Structure 1
Amino acid sequence: MSHLGSIKKASELVFRKPDSEDGSEIWKLIRRCKPLDENSMYCNLLQCDHFRDTCVMVERDGELLGWISGYIAPSEPESFFVWQVAVSPDARGLGLGKRMLTHLIERDEADACTQLKTTITRSNEASWGLFRSFARSIGGELTDEAHFHEDDHFDGHAATEHMVTITFPQEARAAA
């Protein structure tokens, strides 16, 4: 039996806010999820501490399987910004990315949000697939435009990041 098969038959998934003690495990997960940018362990510690209300981790039997870091910028209180999505290679195919996104926008902290934003490079097919699927699942509209440019912002060292915006359907927000 594959490792994935054993994960699917294990106990329940636990979605929770991180604690500062989770920072190093999150850092290790991100390192296993190529080609994600590796932030410093200190960055992940701060996400767990200062931004815990807008981040989510998923565990099963104490094993970290998924992580999303995000925040609501003071300058855009209507936008929930997703910084990074990481799913353990052992847990791929369980739909964790979409389930974590749904979990986050259903939190009380996101009540005033009318849209979700993230940046994605054109070549990151997995992220495009996740966010398109998420938009369809909630009945949202997905748009994108070049935002952080390869030459202007990254000095030619990274590909252009497109700002992806998913506008939530009005009826969904009214019902919440």
Structure 2
Amino acid sequence: MPQTSDTPRPQTLRLRKPRPTDGSDIWALVKRCAPLDVNSMYCNLVQAEHFRDTCVVAERDGRIVGWVSGHMIPAEDALFVWQVAVCPSARGLGLGKKMLLELLERDACDGASALKTTITADNAASWSLFRSLTRAIGGALDEAPHFESDRHFDGRHDTEHMVTIALPETGAVARAA
């Protein structure tokens, strides 16, 4: 069928490692993704450069529509996922899970036996994402309060629960992707 001006053109989605030049676009995306904490643009620039092997950018038609920041926890066999951001226009496509599965397949995460992240009790979207990921890979999820509101945040932020997903053998993650 020939394309006309009324025919929507297909949108190409690409997952890749971030580049330092992505820092400002990542920062702008995170700003649009409440309830995520907005860090400095410099923080996102450093993540894109220093932690690029454990971060993922999703591009659709050359525009950043998704972001996962993470790092391997020093002295642990665990990948810590800091933020998952999906542009409102790209929600409902399973993009968050696709980015996480892409990340788990990277060489930089080969030594990880667990994925860890923190989530506030009221962040239903994040709970749903990480439970869905756990089911997809056949892992096991555990959670417990970690950074407590009064003790760590002086009452200015909700308690963050540490979510730990025991990762299965590498082949199971690849099959889920």
User: TM-score normalized by structure 2?
Assistant: 0.90
Q: Where do 5+ consecutive residues of structure 1 fail to align?
A: 1-5
Instruction: Using the TM superposition, give the Cα deviation of residue 174 of structure 1 relative to its aligned residue in structure 2, in angstroms.
Output: 10
Cα gap change, 1:171/1:89 in structure 2, threshold over 3 Å: closer, same or farther? closer
Instruction: Using the TM superposition, give the Cα deviation of residue 165 of structure 1 relative to its aligned residue in structure 2, in angstroms.
Output: 0.3
Counterpart of 1:91 in structure 2 is: 90
- 8 Å CA contact retained: 2:101, 2:173: no
Instruction: Using the TM superposition, give the Cα deviation of residue 175 of structure 1 relative to its aligned residue in structure 2, in angstroms.
Output: 8.7
Map residues 42-57 of structure 1 onto 2, 5 A cutoff: 42-57=42-57
Counterpart of 1:33 in structure 2 is: 33
Does 2:155 align with 1:156?
Answer: yes
Counterpart of 1:79 in structure 2 is: 78
Instruction: Using the TM superposition, give the Cα deviation of residue 73 of structure 1 relative to its aligned residue in structure 2, in angstroms.
Output: 1.7
Cα gap change, 1:174/1:26 in structure 2, threshold over 3 Å: closer, same or farther? closer
Counterpart of 2:5 in structure 1 is: none
Cα gap change, 1:152/1:174 in structure 2, threshold over 3 Å: closer, same or farther? closer
Aligned length: 168
- 8 Å CA contact retained: 1:10, 1:60: no
State the SS of the aligned residue for 2:67.
strand
Q: Percent identity?
A: 58
Map residues 13-28 of structure 1 onto 2, 5 A cutoff: 13-28=13-28
Q: Where has structure 1 moved over 6 Å in runs of 4 or more?
A: 173-176
State the SS of the aligned residue for 1:46.
helix
Instruction: Using the TM superposition, give the Cα deviation of residue 170 of structure 1 relative to its aligned residue in structure 2, in angstroms.
Output: 3.9
Q: Can you list the C-alpha shifts for 1:45-83, whole angstroms capped at 9, x where unaligned? A: 00001101100000011011100000002221x100000
CA RMSD of aligned residues (A): 1.7
State the SS of the aligned residue for 1:129.
helix
Instruction: Using the TM superposition, give the Cα deviation of residue 149 of structure 1 relative to its aligned residue in structure 2, in angstroms.
Output: 0.5
Cα distance in 2 between the residues matched to 1:156 and 1:125: 21
Counterpart of 2:4 in structure 1 is: none
- 8 Å CA contact retained: 1:114, 1:173: no
Cα distance in 2 between the residues matched to 1:161 and 1:53: 25
Cα gap change, 1:175/1:88 in structure 2, threshold over 3 Å: closer, same or farther? closer
- 8 Å CA contact retained: 2:118, 2:163: yes
